[in-house]
A and B are shown apart, each in its own frame.
Chain A
Amino acid sequence: MTIYALSSGAGLSGIAVIRISGSETEKVILTLTKKVLPTPRVATLRKIFSCKSNDLIDEGIIIWFPGPNSYTGEDMAEFHIHGSKAVIQAILDNLSKIENCRLAEAGEFTKTALYNEKINLLKAEGIGDLIASETEIQRKQALKIISGKNSYKFNSWREILLKNLANFEAKIDFPDEDLPIDILKNTKKDIDVVRSEIKKTLNDSKVGERIREGFKIAILGPTNVGKSSLLNYFSNREVAIVSEIAGTTRDVIEVHLNIDGFPVVMFDTAGIRKSEDEIEKKGIKLALKKAQDADLNILVFEPKSVDFSHFFKDLDLKKSIFVVNKSDLDLKKPEELEQYNPISISVKNEINIDQLISQIKKNLKIKFVNIEDTTITRERHRQQLMQCASYLDDFFKKESENDFDKAAEDLRLATRHLGMLVGKVDVEEILGSIFNDFCIGK
């Protein structure tokens, strides 16, 4: 099966690029250009015809990438054509008429590259991130992943674990062989290096994930204090908007913002009040959960707010900014809030919102103080590393020879989780390490 897709963005443009990958690529070029194949990897001007007749569709640049030296590892081609709706549609229509050709699914070119081992799992993730990047800092982080910096780190830890695991496995499977002794003791030094590096990496305040997913701000407060208006205010300021995803859940609305080059996701949540209504209670629970996960909470009140402090115990007030809305009503601020130095604003009259924004920026700067040394960029990475570290902790509890099998199991599981992180799980690697490092053969 050969796949094709418009690789440049939708909409009017000077030039559009259609990519083709698969065994039929050669046939596609011959059919549409009615000429011999261009020299590999040389941009070549060609007329493009309808596949079943001699009707000219467009004229453009064709580049032919014979596999395996292509992005996907298969035969590939790029058609650089004029970027009009009509031209693009005509060429896609003709491609669909060629046997064994079909439109690619989203991300399929990169997936194919992954299957053909042109790129590894982490790099594939990096490419996905680069395509989705909205801010400068996201772009830089994605490029860092593609360059293989984090994958090199993960792989080097895994190699150390594998090498030490091989010591255990060799001793278990070849007990009569002349092999290194005191393995339980002697491997601990190596393993400890990996363990402490993993722990150091985990202790990163999730900066990498925040860069990728956005700094999370939850807007929280009693009902009818103007939370939604505040979110609307942010989402309506054109400079700030990147995109809007409304109604992701029944009760939480999120908006993606770009503040000073930092990616931010702002959530509106259900209003909090004492309620007996089951559905409303669920919404409130969800709101509090969002607040817990968020990097910053904006707690919104109004001068008339009563009965709000009961939910303070469920919140981390240290990562919260207090806001009293509706200052236009010219009422006195509630006294109970004074100790939290609330900012008085009026969303309606756009009063004092700059002060709120500068507070948000201050928090952003603290969070993103160290953006150079991020290794973990996804929750998936964190989960695997946490599992790995926890098995390494178990490993360190094993002292006696009686626990040799359990220690080996801890190390196996730790290694397996690192393997899942980089996309490699194979017993042959352990055996390979055993036979390369030790002379086995009774």
Chain B
Amino acid sequence: MTKDVFFDVVVIGGGHAGCEAAAASARLGVSTALYTHKIETIGEMSCNPAIGGLGKGHLVREIDALDGVMGEVADKSGIQFRLLNRSRGPAVRGPRTQSDRSLYKKYMQRKLLNYCNLSVFSDPVIEFIFYKNVVKGIITQSGKKISCNKLILTTGTFLNGLIHIGENKTPAGRFNEKPTTGLSEQLEKFNFSIGRLKTGTPPRLDRDTINFANLEEQHADVDPYFFSFLTDKITNAQVSCRMTYTNEKVHSIISKNIKLSAIYSGDIKGIGPRYCPSIEDKVIKFSDKKRHQIFLEPEGLNDRTVYPNGISTSLPAEIQAEICNNITGLENVKILRPGYAIEYDYVDPRELFLTLETKKIKNLFLAGQINGTTGYEEAAAQGLIAGINAAQSIKKSEPFILDRSEAYIGVMIDDLVTKGVAEPYRMFTSRAEYRLSLRADNADLRLTQKGIDIGLITDQRLKIYIEKFNSLEKMTKILTNLNISPSKVEKFGVNIAKDGISRNAEQILSQKDVKMSKIREIWPEIPFKSKEIDEQLEIKAHYRGYLNKQKADILAFKKDENLKIPEGVNYDILSGLSNEVKSKFKKIRPKTMGQALRIDGITPAAVYILLSHVKRKSIKNIA
């Protein structure tokens, strides 16, 4: 007997995008279901066992600031916390941790299975139900028909996935898991523009067969920096990574067997990422480098598997063994599972609105690797935005869109839907125009209020945030109201221009090498709220000038950026635009001037024509 079931939002896929999408939608109070192949693979880290890094760590902090689940789970499962670029300035610090793969899954599953408004099912989806170009529901393998208002598809590399190990090709999503095929065919009928990408992984090694004796050790930070604004301590033991290097012998083995690699034999058509090249690519393209570093990353506290980061490969298994056995420390290593390259389909993200809803099928949202991105964090951030917007739309509320001046999430989604992707898209801090403003440390101050405004933030975080915000306001006020003259402050060892003009405490704090401890030495009456608050005050002072300038830039940016382009612009009648530009505008249908400006291949001059058209039109309407 089958019975029709209904959910407001259905999420397909239990990866990082799916988890965050389901949780966000549920947090906004609409009934949500998550469908996946297997409960046990929810929150699986299919590639390297780490969360965060530059840009990526920023994304996790932003997800957390919007009360997402990734930050908290990453903190609970972290086994080697490191704050990257610790000494290079606060804006470019990126939190990162090695994760215990099984703990990560465990905590993620525990979290989602107990999430309010969320039901989780292990039942593969085999068919979509459409009515014309509107998605209405799904049919599962067990024969259930589920109706829904919104559907979020987060199927990662599972669309027509193809694994390459040497000449062997196996259709698959992740290793030993079936790819999703029928759904692709159904989507194809809507003429989505589909591209093909590839990514790769290294072989997995048996820890007990590695000789660690002479390998450099990379320790965890003594003073760990967390992903979640809610975390105040960690409980897991912290471990080290080890480092080893390839050598000329290894390089010659690779060169000799290059024809056997799937990447070089011509078997792989997909485009791989430049920042994560296979060891084959590294050896061929940078032949002058005598060695390449390899990080030996433990996959868990109670897991023998080691992930040798730096040697992703699609050479045949026996060559992989030969390579490993010629690397210091890996002479007798046992390969648990060979490395492979995987090719998969992605939907050109220019098919999406900024809400991540598709332009061609109403109520269908896409998030994660299916949109041509790579990385857990990028996937999760999209899941969050798709989940929020699906729920917002059901509640008939305004779309939730972050722009480039507000968040890395905004930078990423704007890049995706306006420029599309040429390689798997990864977040870098270089992509952010306002890098000094978009920091990991202030993600909550940038975003949590926006979450509160739409009812996305749960009580615990709300309380913590409000408290922090108020303390910070109070302290800033105190600092700006305390003044001191140059001659007096000199007695405390702080040198400023002796112009007789007194400075306030905030200005003193912006002097080189002055910290809050020095400020309290001068003004012992200043209260101490928390280390975090002091740090915020110090960072704000560190970037004084830069942040003011950036603020002015952002205001100017927002003025043009947010100028809305009416939906029904007839691009064909716009004079002075080339056909190429017109077809790009018609395809993407930018919503704002800012978005129009960032379309790949669109010049500022073309946008200027559009701008004058839009302005002229609005004047006409008034008249």
Report A's interface with B, CB cutoff 8 A: 1, 3, 23, 73-74, 102, 105, 108, 111-112, 114-116, 169, 171-178, 401-406, 408-409, 423, 427, 430-431, 434-435, 439-442
CA gap between A139 and B312 in the complex, in Å:
59
Binds A, one of B4-12, B24-32, B60-68, B80-88: B80-88
Residues in chain B near residue A435, CB distance under 8 A = 274-275
Residues on B lying within 8 angstroms of A by beta carbon are 54-55, 84-85, 87-92, 94, 274-277, 281-282, 285-286, 289, 292-293, 295, 309-310, 312, 428-431, 433, 435-436, 543, 546, 572-581, 603-606
Whether A403 pairs with B428 at a CB distance below 8 angstroms is no
Q: List B contacts of A74 (CB < 8 A).
A: 578-579
Contact: A439 with B289, CB < 8 Å? Answer: yes
**When chains A and B are docked, how far (Å) is the Cα of A352 from the Cα of B280?**
85
Which one, A116, A173, A439, contacts B580 given CB within 8 A? A116
Nearest residue, chain A, Cβ from B288:
A439
Q: What are 18 A-B residue pairs whose CB atoms fall within 8 Å in the complex?
A: A1-B575, A3-B576, A73-B578, A74-B578, A114-B603, A116-B580, A172-B54, A173-B54, A174-B54, A178-B293, A402-B88, A404-B88, A405-B89, A431-B428, A439-B285, A439-B292, A441-B310, A442-B276
Contact B428 A441 (CB under 8 A): no
CB neighbours of B435 from chain A (8 A): 405, 409
Chain B residues near A440 (CB-CB < 8 A): 274-275, 277
Contact B54 A175 (CB under 8 A): yes
Interface of A is mostly: helix
CA distance A173 to B606 in the complex (A): 32
CB pair B84 A175 closer than 8 Å: yes
For the complex formed, measure the closest distance between the CB of A240 and the CB atoms of chain B, giving whole angstroms: 37
Contact A441 B275, beta carbon cutoff 8 Å: yes
A15 CA / B293 CA spacing, docked (Å): 72
- Distance (Å) between the CB of A71 and the closest chain B CB? 13
Q: Which residues does chain B contribute within 8 Å of A175, judged by CB atoms? A: 54, 84-85, 88, 94
**Cβ contacts under 8 Å, B309 to chain A:** 442
Measured CB to CB, the nearest residue on chain B to A401 is B87
Interface contact B92-A115, CB-CB below 8 Å:
no
State in angstroms the CA–CA spacing of A382 and B394 once bound together: 53
Q: Which chain B residues lie closer than 8 Å to A172 at the CB level?
A: 54, 85, 88, 92, 429-430
Asked whether A3 and B575 contact (CB < 8 A) given A115-B581, A173-B429, A430-B430, the answer is yes
**Does A108 contact B575, Cβ atoms closer than 8 Å?**
yes
B295 in complex: contacting residue of A23, A114, A176, A434, CB < 8 Å: A176
Q: Is the CB of B577 within 8 A of A404?
A: no
| 7 A-B pairs with the lowest CB-CB distances in the bound complex, closest first | A405-B89, A404-B88, A435-B274, A439-B286, A169-B430, A175-B84, A441-B277
Note all chain A residues with C-beta closer than 8 A to B433. Answer: 427
Closest Cβ neighbor of A100 among chain B residues: B572
Q: Report the bound CA distance from A114 to B276 in whole Å.
A: 36
B377 CB, nearest partner CB in chain A, Å? 14
Select from chain B the residue with minimum beta-carbon distance to A407.
B89
Cβ 8 A contact of A431, one of B85, B312, B430 = B430
Most buried by B among A74, A111, A434: A111
Given the interface pairs A1-B575, A112-B578, the reply to whether A405 lies near B90 with Cβ below 8 Å is yes
A111:B576 contact, CB within 8 angstroms: yes
Given known contacts A169-B428, A441-B277, what 6 new A-B pairs fall within 8 Å (CB)? A112-B576, A172-B430, A178-B293, A406-B89, A409-B435, A439-B289
Report Cα–Cα, A110/B36, bound state, in Å.
56
Which of A171, A176, A434, A441 has the most chain B CB atoms closer than 10 A to its own CB?
A441
B310, chain A: closest CB distance, angstroms: 5
Contact partner, B606, options A115, A401, A403, A404, Cβ 8 Å: A115
- B604: chain A residues at CB < 8 Å are 423
Q: Is the beta-carbon distance between A1 and B573 smaller than 8 angstroms?
A: yes
Is A23's CB under 8 angstroms from B579's CB? yes
User: What is the distance, in angstroms, from B239's C-beta to the closest C-beta of chain A?
Assistant: 16
Instruction: Decide yes or no: A405 and B576 within 8 Å by CB, A178-B293, A435-B274, A441-B275 being known contacts.
Output: no
Q: Give, as a whole number of angstroms, the nearest-CB distance from B84 to chain A.
A: 4
- How far is the CB of B282 from the nearest CB of chain A, in Å? 5
For A169, the closest partner residue in chain B by CB is B430
Closest to A427 in B: B431
CA distance A3 to B286 in the complex (A): 50
Chain A residues whose CB sits within 8 angstroms of the CB of B286 once the complex forms: 439
- Chain A contacts of B285 at CB under 8 A? 439
The answer for the CA separation of A435 and B424 in the assembled complex, in Å, is 14
Q: Give complex CA distance A434, B54 in Å.
A: 15
Given A405-B88, A427-B431, A441-B277; A116-B292 close (CB under 8 Å): no
Residues from chain B with Cβ under 8 Å of A423 in the complex? 603-604
Q: How far is the CB of B560 from chain A (nearest CB, A)?
A: 14
Complex: chain A residue closest to B422, CB-CB: A428
Q: Which residues of A contact B543 (CB under 8 A)?
A: 406
Query: CB-CB < 8 A to B579: which residues of A?
Result: 23, 74
**Chain A residues with CB below 8 A from B606, complex form:** 115
- Tell me the minimal C-beta distance from B248 to chain A in angstroms: 15
Least Cβ–Cβ distance between B495 and chain A, in angstroms: 16
Query: What separation, in Å, do the CA atoms of A427 and B55 have in the docked complex?
Result: 15
Q: Which of B85, B277, B292, B578 touches A178 (beta carbons < 8 Å)?
A: B292
User: Are B91 and A405 neighbours in the complex by a CB distance under 8 Å?
Assistant: yes
Q: Which residues of B contact A176 (CB under 8 A)?
A: 84, 295
* Nearest chain B CB to A191 CB, angstrom units: 18
Q: With a CB–CB cut-off of 8 A, which chain A residues contact B89?
A: 402-406
Bound: A115/B295 CA distance, A: 47
Contact of B55 among A173, A177, A430 (CB under 8 A): A173
Residue of A nearest to B54 (CB): A173
In the assembly, what is the distance between CA of A258 and CA of B603, in Å?
A: 37
Partner of B605 from A3, A111, A442 at Cβ < 8 Å = A111
Residues of B within 8 A of A405 (CB): 88-92, 435-436
- Cα A441 to Cα B580 in complex, Å, equals 36
Shortest distance between the CB of B381 and any CB in chain A (Å):
17
Could you say which residues of chain B place their CB within 8 Å of the CB of A23?
579
Chain A residue nearest in CB terms to B94? A175
